[in-house]
C-alpha cells in the first residue's frame, strides 16, 4: 500500500471535486487524478448550452485552470485509462502500463452515452453528446448543415434543439415516449415544453421511434423518413461500473455505496454519476446524474478519506436551460397523487408542486427561481406548505421555513 496516496479514477466533475476538497481540507499526501479524456476536469452542462452555441470556449468550461493542479500538487494523468484495480495489493494499473499504488482509491468514473442499436448509427454524420470532443465534432458538422434530427426528447436533446433552432437550423426531435422529458418531469411540464418548442419552430414527434439511418434519411416507426444533414442522439447514459465490477465490488445500476460514499472495500470510495447510493430524505436508494450530486458526493467521499466521515443527506436538484426558460427541479416528481400550480403557466413563470398523501415530494419551477430556492429549504427540512398556500402566489413560502 502507498504510504499516503489517493488515486482518483475519472477526472470529471466528481473526480476533480474530490481532489480539490482534499487539498482544501489540508490533505498533505499525494493525489493522482487519472482521466481518459484529454482535458482537465470540466463542466458538462455548458456542452449542450453555451458551448454548443459557440458562446464560450474550453477555458471557460474548465472547473479550474490547468495551473491549479500544478500549484496544489495534484498529479493529473490525462488521456490515461485505469484498466484494473488490484484490491489485495492496493494498486491500479493504467492502460499505459503504469502501476499506481494507493492508500485510498476513489472511483468517479461517471457515465457514458447509451448507444442506440439501429442500423446506420456509425455514419459520420451521427453524433452523441457527452464530451467536449463530441461537441467539437458536432460544431464542425454544423457548418453547411441545414437540417438536424435529434433522437431523444430528454433534457440534453431539448437543450441542443433550443440552441440549434436559435442558430437558425431546421430541427426535428424524435421521442419514443408520449411526452417530453418523461423520466423526470410531470405531464404539466412536458406539455409546456412541447408547446414552447413548437412555437419556436422545432418539429417534435412523440410516440415515434427510429428504425434506421440511411444516408441523409432518418427512418421512423411511423413510416416517415426525415431528412437530416446531421443526427444527434441523446437517449440517456449508462454508469461506468465495469472497472469496479471486475474488481469484485457490488454494482446495481451504479457502484453500490453507503451514505458516506464507501464501497464494500474499506479503502475504496465512489462518487457522482457512477454510484447507486441511499438518500435518507427520499427514503430510498438511487442513482443521480447531476452536478449537485457529483459535487456533494465528492465532498462526502473526501471526508471519508480524511477520516471524518459525514453522511450525505441532500435533496436532489437539477436544472435545464431551453431558450430563455430555466427549468429547476428539486426533490422528485414521480409517485405523486396531486399537483398544485403556483404562478401562471401561460406567461411562462410557474412552478408545479407535487404531493403524496399531503406531503410535498418535489417541485418543478419554470422561471420561478425563488420557488426553487424555498423548495430546497422546505424539502430539506421536511416541511410541506398546504396546497392553498402554494396556489396563492402572494403567499411567502419563506414564512414556513423561517416563521419569524
Ligand X SMILES: Cc1cc2nc3c(=O)[nH]c(=O)nc-3n(C[C@H](O)[C@H](O)[C@H](O)COP(=O)(O)OP(=O)(O)OC[C@H]3O[C@@H](n4cnc5c(N)ncnc54)[C@H](O)[C@@H]3O)c2cc1C
Which residue number, 237 or 400, has a Cβ lying nearer to ligand X? 237
Nearest distance from residue 227's CB to ligand X, in Å? Answer: 25
Of 19, 149, 243, 244, which lies in the binding site for ligand X, with binding defined by CB under 6 A? 243
- Is residue 14 close enough to count as binding ligand X by CB under 6 A? yes
Number of residues counted as binding ligand X (CB under 6 A): 37
Of 126, 181, 226, 294, which lies in the binding site for ligand X, with binding defined by CB under 6 A? 294
- Is residue 375 close enough to count as binding ligand X by CB under 6 A? no
- Is residue 295 close enough to count as binding ligand X by CB under 6 A? no
Q: Show the cell assigned to 165.
A: 433552432
CA distance 256 to 315: 19
Q: By C-alpha distance, which of 255, 268, 254, 319 is closest to 292? A: 319
Handedness of CA 335, 338, 194, 46 (dihedral sign): negative
Nearest distance from residue 213's CB to ligand X, in Å? Answer: 21
DSSP symbols for 79-117: S--EEEEETTTTEEEETTS-EEE-SEEEE---EEEPP--
- Between residue 60 and residue 89, which ones bind ligand X under the rule CB under 6 A? 81-82
- Is residue 48 close enough to count as binding ligand X by CB under 6 A? yes
CA distance 217 to 230: 10
Q: By C-alpha distance, which of 377, 253, 263, 266 is closest to 315? A: 377
- Is residue 186 close enough to count as binding ligand X by CB under 6 A? no
- Between residue 193 and residue 212, which ones bind ligand X under the rule CB under 6 A? none
- Is residue 368 close enough to count as binding ligand X by CB under 6 A? no
DSSP symbols for 160-202: HHHHHHHTT-EEEEE-SSSSSSTTTS-HHHHHHHHHHHHHTT-
- Coil vs helix vs strand at 34: strand
Of 126, 156, 181, 251, which lies in the binding site for ligand X, with binding defined by CB under 6 A? 156
Residues contacting residue 186 through CB under 8 Å, at least 6 positions apart = 333, 336, 339, 352, 354, 364
Site string (21-40) toward ligand X, x via CB under 6 A:
-------------xxxx---
Nearest distance from residue 111's CB to ligand X, in Å? Answer: 5
DSSP state of 72: T
Of the listed pieces 11-19, 21-29, 205-213, 250-258, which binds ligand X according to CB under 6 A? Answer: 11-19
Of the listed pieces 198-206, 284-292, 326-334, 360-368, which binds ligand X according to CB under 6 A? Answer: 284-292
- Is residue 319 close enough to count as binding ligand X by CB under 6 A? yes
Of the listed pieces 19-27, 217-225, 285-293, 348-356, which binds ligand X according to CB under 6 A? Answer: 285-293
CA–chain centroid gap for 21, Å, is: 20
DSSP state of 404: -
Q: Look up cell 437540417; give the residue.
A: 147
Hey, what long-range contacts does 217-226 have (CB within 8 A, 24 or more apart)? 218/149, 218/151, 218/172, 218/174, 220/174, 226/147, 226/149, 226/172, 226/174
CA distance 317 to 307: 28
- Is residue 152 close enough to count as binding ligand X by CB under 6 A? no
- The H-or-E segment that residue 341 falls in is strand 338-344
Of the listed pieces 59-67, 137-145, 200-208, 269-277, which binds ligand X according to CB under 6 A? Answer: 269-277
Check residue 129 and give left, alpha or beta (phi > 0: left; psi -120 to 50: alpha).
Answer: beta
- Is residue 316 close enough to count as binding ligand X by CB under 6 A? no
CA distance 273 to 12: 10
Nearest distance from residue 286's CB to ligand X, in Å? Answer: 13
Site string (91-130) toward ligand X, x via CB under 6 A:
-----------------xxxx-----------------xx
- Is residue 47 close enough to count as binding ligand X by CB under 6 A? yes
- Is residue 10 close enough to count as binding ligand X by CB under 6 A? yes
Nearest distance from residue 337's CB to ligand X, in Å? Answer: 27
Nearest distance from residue 142's CB to ligand X, in Å? Answer: 16
| Residue numbers at the binding site for ligand X (CB under 6 A) | 9-15, 34-37, 44-45, 47-48, 81-82, 108-111, 129-130, 156, 240, 243, 272-274, 289-292, 294, 318-320
Amino acid at each position: 500500500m502507498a504510504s499516503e496516496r489517493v488515486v482518483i479514477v475519472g477526472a470529471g466533475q466528481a473526480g476533480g471535486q474530490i481532489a480539490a476538497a482534499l487539498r482544501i481540507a489540508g490533505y498533505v499526501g499525494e493525489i493522482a487524478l487519472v482521466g481518459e479524456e484529454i482535458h482537465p476536469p470540466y463542466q458538462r452542462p455548458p456542452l449542450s448550452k453555451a458551448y454548443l452555441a459557440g458562446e464560450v470556449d474550453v477555458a471557460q468550461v474548465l472547473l479550474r485552470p490547468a495551473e491549479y493542479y500544478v500549484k496544489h500538487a495534484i498529479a493529473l494523468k490525462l488521456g490515461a485509462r485505469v484498466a484494473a484495480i488490484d484490491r489485495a495489493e492496493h494498486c491500479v494499473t493504467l492502460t499505459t502500463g503504469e502501476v499506481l499504488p494507493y492508500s485510498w482509491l476513489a472511483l468517479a468514473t461517471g457515465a457514458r452515452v447509451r448507444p442506440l442499436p439501429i442500423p446506420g448509427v456509425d455514419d459520420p454524420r451521427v453524433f452523441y453528446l457527452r464530451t467536449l470532443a463530441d461537441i467539437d465534432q458536432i460544431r464542425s458538422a454544423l457548418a453547411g448543415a441545414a437540417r438536424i434530427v435529434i433522437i431523444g426528447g430528454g433534457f440534453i436533446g431539448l437543450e441542443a434543439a433550443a440552441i440549434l433552432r436559435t442558430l437558425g437550423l431546421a430541427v426535428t426531435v424524435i421521442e419514443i415516449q408520449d411526452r417530453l422529458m418523461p423520466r423526470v418531469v410531470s405531464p404539466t411540464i412536458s406539455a409546456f415544453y412541447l408547446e414552447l418548442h413548437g412555437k419556436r419552430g422545432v418539429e417534435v414527434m412523440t410516440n415515434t421511434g427510429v428504425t434506421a439511418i440511411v444516408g441523409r434519411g432518418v427512418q421512423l416507426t411511423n413510416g416517415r423518413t426525415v431528412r437530416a444533414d446531421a443526427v444527434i442522439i441523446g437517449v440517456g447514459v449508462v454508469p461506468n461500473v465495469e472497472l469496479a465490477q471486475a474488481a469484485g465490488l457490488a454494482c446495481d445500476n451504479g457502484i453500490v455505496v453507503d451514505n458516506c460514499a464507501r464501497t464494500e472495500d474499506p479503502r475504496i470510495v465512489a462518487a457522482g454519476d457512477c454510484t447507486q447510493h441511499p438518500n435518507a430524505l427520499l427514503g430510498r436508494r438511487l442513482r443521480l446524474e447531476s452536478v449537485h450530486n457529483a459535487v456533494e458526493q465528492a465532498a462526502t467521499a473526501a471526508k471519508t478519506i480524511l477520516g471524518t466521515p459525514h453522511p450525505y443527506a441532500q435533496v436532489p436538484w437539477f436544472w435545464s436551460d431551453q431558450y430563455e426558460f430555466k427549468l429547476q427541479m428539486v426533490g422528485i416528481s414521480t409517485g405523486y397523487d396531486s399537483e398544485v400550480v403556483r404562478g401562471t403557466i401561460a406567461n411562462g413563470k410557474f412552478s408545479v408542486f407535487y404531493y403524496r398523501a399531503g406531503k410535498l415530494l418535489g417541485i418543478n419551477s419554470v422561471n420561478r427561481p425563488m420557488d426553487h430556492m424555498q423548495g430546497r429549504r422546505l424539502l430539506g427540512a421536511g416541511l410541506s406548505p398546504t396546497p392553498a398556500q402554494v396556489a396563492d402566489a402572494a403567499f411567502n413560502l419563506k414564512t414556513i421555513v423561517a416563521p419569524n
